[in-house]
Amino acid sequence: MPDASAKAVLRRELLDARGRLSSDEARAASADLARHALALPELADAGTVAAYVSVGREPGTRLLLDALRDRGVRVLLPVLREDNDLDWAVYEGRERLVRARLGLLEPHGERLGVQTVLEAGAVLLPGLAVDVRGMRLGRGGGSYDRVLARLAAADADPALVVLLYANEVVGRVPEEPHDHPVHAVVTPESVRRFPDRAA
């Protein structure tokens, strides 16, 4: 099966599993995710962190965003452009988030440009799975592929961290030439680092 087709099948399975989570399970998982993520030295040492606002049954980021902001970290959030690339704006609190297309929540503030992500010491990436090599499976829209390519082209080397549920750490995800490995995955249970990608 071609990698693109295999990715589509795996995405469907993982999204179905997320859909079966209860609100209480998702809420408890987000608290545990925040606790583990906040203990990461990569986040503790970063003056700027690029993150995202979780929606639906995605592993929750809202507690983590607030905790980072309370620590004085400059948190950048993505703003989806018409071409599906990502602009960035500073997170100024939940009350300053607005509804955007595709059901996303975005910051209301000034758009800082696509290159702003290069200022981040750590980048929290959404995803559906990570395998034992650190290869990430995204949703397939390509927005974060562009972000990762931009970081690589600029020789920027922020810590790349994915937040997932435990069942989403898998043996192997289908891989295409444009895919980039990550440094670590955080689940509600633990942190797993990928030695050949150590930050």
Report the predicted TM-score, pTM, of the whole model to 2 decimal places.
0.91
| Helix (H) / strand (E) containing 186 | strand 184-186
Domains contained in the chain, CATH given:
3-192 (3.40.50.10420)
Q: Which residue has the tokens 């898998």?
A: 170
pLDDT digits (tens, 9 = 90+) for 1-14: 456 688 889 999 99
Segment 102-144, tens digit of pLDDT: 788 999 989 999 999 999 999 999 999 999 999 999 887 889 9
Question: Which residue from 124, 56, 66 is spatially nearest to 92, judged by alpha carbons?
Answer: 66
Report the relative pairing of strands 159-163 and 122-125 from DSSP bridges: parallel
Q: At what angle do helices 62-70 and 23-38 cross, to 10 degrees?
A: 30
Q: Which residues pair with 131 in a beta bridge?
A: 170
